[in-house]
Structure formats: structure tokens, C-alpha cells
Amino acid sequence: MIYFDHNATTSIHPEVLEAMMPFLTSQQGNPSSNHSFGRHVHTAIEEAREKVANSVNAHPSQVIFTSSGTESNNTIIHGISRSYPDSHFGFSAIEHPCISEPIKSIEPMGFKNTQIPVDNKCLLNISALNNEEQKNITFLSVMMANNETGVIQDMPTITKWAKSHNIQIHTDAVQAIGKINVDFEELEVDAMTISSHKIYGPQGAAALILNKKIDLHPHLMGGGQEKGLRSGTENIAAIVGFGKACERVQKNIVIINDEIKKCHVYLEKELKNLGAVIFAEQTERLANTTFFAFNNIDGSTLLTALDRKGYAIASGSACSSNSSEASHVLLAMGIESELAQGALRVSLGIETKKDEIKSFLEALKIEVNRLKQLTAMTV
């Protein structure tokens, strides 16, 4: 199998696994215990916290460890709702469900929300809101880089607008970190989500980076871990691995923007030669992500055929890949439902080779031609 689904998850880098192994193979104690075992792992967690903070230019005290990007996003949404009962939530139409669904879930409690549209380039379109809608929003969440199209939002401009309207702002940077520079202090956002398994770290570890000015009510309560903001015994090995993965972030960025970008350019050139439509092609995107479709070809059928030939790609977000519905991101961009239904995503990783892309394109060409012939026979 050749793996082209790195936006869904990455493999653990050997350096990361090496750092984790001592915490998987021997008794390390509970970080909340006062004996030497507990103190040892507590120190390991704090060292990891510092590495995570350094990777996004934040202070270690701003890093709250969680189990996933989904938990981090739920923590900020539910935490804000409980700390600021008059909150009005704004979110982009292309947000991951772990932002949009928690926001919608608190509507019965009286919390209002505004979904902000995007244009046909997949960029946030604040100007589409009327003045009253803009004034109502008190908290805004915008994904820094979209997991499906790879489109990078103009976060400095968005943050500047939010601050001018006294709006608290959060960005889901899960797909951005490790592919482009992510600077918490420079962005001036109030909160940020990042995740370990998107940057060659283990699954089961993530972080919410939080501005100390934000008064956040905890989403999980109990033992008071993570400064009282996320109770629960820490996943020591995963957190240590997360820290090591964050230590390697700059190396990943160099590989993706120097080597993988060349593969990406080649891939998209050949896809267009095959007649593919590449979504958000003219917009600044992650150098590893291509979202495309062929007219009159069902995406799930093509995905299955390619999987049988040994190529792992995606039909969009991994969390909703079993859904038969068209991508909500493409629909928000104004893409016709029939074309959106055929969308497939290729996301390259630091170990991807050009020869793998060449063989993939050969297999793709065969399957596309076969499906076109079948379609012609049924018309």
C-alpha cells in the first residue's frame, strides 16, 4: 500500500517512538503522585509542554494538554459558553465538525451563532455579513488551513478585524502546524488548537494554546490536572511523543516546502492533463494537499478502485469519510453537488516519493478511463 492520506493521520516518526519507549515499557508512575516516580513523569510532561510551546512561539503556561483536536475544540467552545453566558459564536462555513457541532449543540441553552460564508476560493468572506451580524459576534473560530482543500486563511487580517470588534478569536491550526509557520504570539489569537498525530507524533495527544486573559471554565472536571482546565490522568507516553514531534516541526516544514512541493506541482499538472478539476487551485494552499474530482465520476467508487490497487487516499475529512454526502466545504464554496460528490483528496507526507506519485497517476488514469467507459455504456 502507498499512503497518500497524511492530512488524516501520519505515522509515528522513529525519533518520536524512541522518546516514547521508556514510558511504554516500564512503570513510570502517576504525574500527580508525590514520590520519585511521580516527580519523574511530571518533569517529563513539563519538558514536553515546553517543546510544544516553542513550536508555536507560545509560553509553556499557555499549553493545556488534551487527548485530541476534537477535545481541544470542544473545550474552548463549552468553556467559553460557561464563562461568558452572553456569547454569540461565529464560525466559518468550512470548519471541521468538531467546531460547528459543539457550537450548534449549545443552541438549546440560548447561545446564538452565525455561520460566516466563504467565497469560491474557500476564503472567509466577512464582508458577506451585515453590520448587525458582525456586531453580534463575541467569539470567532476560523480554521487556519483547511483539511480538505488545503486553503490557508489570511489569519492576520481576520484577527485584526476580530480585535477591532472586541471579538475573542480561536483558530484550529491542526492542519497548519508542521506545514507552514504557526506563531501564536504573532497571530495574536486568543486560543489555538494543535494535534500530535498530524505531525508524526502519536494519536491520543493534542493541545489547546490559551491566552491567559481568557477566563475558561473547564470542560472536564475531577482531579484538577492541567491547571484545573482538563482533569484526567495524563497520557504520559503520548505527551512525551507529542513534545518530540513538536521539536521536529521545523524539519517537517522544510521537507514539505522544498521536496514535497515539487511532487505536489507534478501531481497537479498531471491531474489536469487527465481532466481533473482541482478545487481552490488559484488560492494559497498547503504544499501537500490536493482536492480534486472528475466530471461524471463518483468519488467513492474511484476511491475503492484505487484502494484495491494499493493507494490510500481520502474523500475528504477522515472524521466524515463514511458519509455519503458531498463535502460541506465544497458546497460552501458554491461547487455543484454532483461534482462535489466526486471529490477525492491526496495529502502527501515527508516520506512521499515522486515514483509513488507516478505509479498512482498511472493507476488513476486506468481507473478513470474504465469508469468513463462504464458511464458511457449506461447512458
Q: Which residues are catalytic?
A: 319
Instruction: Kindly report the backbone phi and psi dihedral angles of residue 30, in degrees, each rounded to the nearest multiple of 5, phi listed first.
Output: -100, 130
d(CA 306, CA 188): 43
Q: Report the alpha-carbon distance of residue 21 to residue 296 in Å, rounded.
A: 49
Closest CA relative to residue 99, chosen from 147, 60, 135, 52: 147
> Of 276, 198, 183, 161, nearest to 16 (Cα)?
198
Distance CA(252)–CA(245), nearest Å, equals: 10
**Strand 289-293 versus strand 277-278 pairing type:** antiparallel
User: CA-to-CA distance for 73 and 194, rounded, in angstroms?
Assistant: 10
Q: Whole-angstrom Cα distance, residue 21 to residue 315? A: 34
* Residues recorded for the chain: 379
Over the Cα atoms of the chain, what is R_g?
21
Q: How far apart are CA 36 and CA 350, in angstroms?
A: 39
Helix (H, G, I), strand (E, B) or coil at 181: coil
DSSP H/E element including 92: strand 88-92
Closest CA to 145 of 187, 115, 106, 111: 187
